[in-house]
Amino acid sequence: MDPAVLREDMVDGLESPAKDVLADEAVAVAMRDVPRHEFFEDDRSAYADREHEALGTRVLAPSTVARLLQTLALEDDADVLIVGAGVGYTAAVAAEIVGETNVHAVDISRPLVVEARQNLARARYEGVLVDCRDGANGLPEYAPFDRILLEAAAVDPPRALLEQLRDDGRLVFPRGSQPQHLEAVTAEGDRIRSGTVSFDPLLVEGEQSGSIERNRTAREDREHAIRRAESRRGWEQEWIEWDDSIGSHGSLR
């Protein structure tokens, strides 16, 4: 069947009352235009609304992509960072809305980065930048960003990503372990919670997809400690620092 017809059917299904997951016209138009089959080995199942597996990662279902991008609230010419490039499909849909040279994507898996680059080039989105990075560190050399999408679950968004948001920017990520919910965070700290989702946790340097042990909590614990230290004010902080200095030099006599 003609892929264009399959795309129309896919988007019509997402807009239907039965699913009711797609109401944003810009996202709908973009999903009708992006040749999703270019991102999959099996063309026949590319337009089914279900997840796929590719190179050890989950490829998001079209309905999930629609929910993410609607929550992200993309605008023309916005600078966008996608953490978790996957096979590149989400980046392609975003590129249809904001322009391909405004979309940057990173992934911790080098094979996935290669796959995403090839898929995007085949689908004619060569202008999207895809790099192999630890997503928790973002892409500081291209910051600030108007929108950041984290396609992996975390208890809190990585500090570096928040620092790379513009003042009026928005970061969207799946929050929590299980259950998770979709949350939008502004640079000012405002939070908007959406419905429930299910994502794999954010990987950090040295981890592999599907591994049993994960050390991502070490990063989160470190960032929480920094936030607590920065929140202290006045004589209490001075007392703590004085007490710490005594401890580091031995007790007074």
Lowest-pLDDT range of 131-135, 142-146, 199-203: 199-203
Q: Do 115 and 53 touch, CB atoms closer than 8 A?
A: no
Cis peptide before 3 (omega within 30 of 0): no
Asked if residue 197 and residue 231 are part of one domain, the reply reads: no
| Average pLDDT of the segment spanning 189-198 | 86
Residues 27 and 113 in one domain: yes
Assign 200 a pLDDT band (cuts: 50, 70, 90).
confident
Question: What is the rounded CA–CA span in Å between residue 31 and residue 112?
Answer: 22
- Rounded to a whole number of angstroms, the CA Rg of the chain reads 20
Check whether 190 has a pLDDT greater than 90. Answer: no
The pTM of the full predicted model, rounded to 2 decimals, is 0.80
Query: Could you give the dihedral angle defined by the CA atoms of residues 178, 182, 185 and 191, in that order, rounded to the nearest 10 degrees?
Result: -80
The region of weakest confidence among 19-23, 29-33, 51-55 is 51-55
Residue 127, pLDDT > 80, answer yes
Residue 253: inside a domain: no
Residue 226 in this model has a pLDDT that exceeds 70:
no
Residue 81 lies in a domain: yes
Segments forming the whole domain that contains residue 240:
216-247
The proportion of the chain whose per-residue pLDDT surpasses 90, expressed as a percent, equals 60
Q: Are residues 37 and 145 in the same domain?
A: yes
Mean pLDDT of 102-114: 95
Angle between helices 3-15 and 62-72 (to 10 degrees): 60
Query: Is 69 contained in some domain?
Result: yes
User: CA of 41: how far to CAs of 6, 32, 47, in Å?
Assistant: 16, 20, 12
CATH number at residue 159: 3.40.50.150
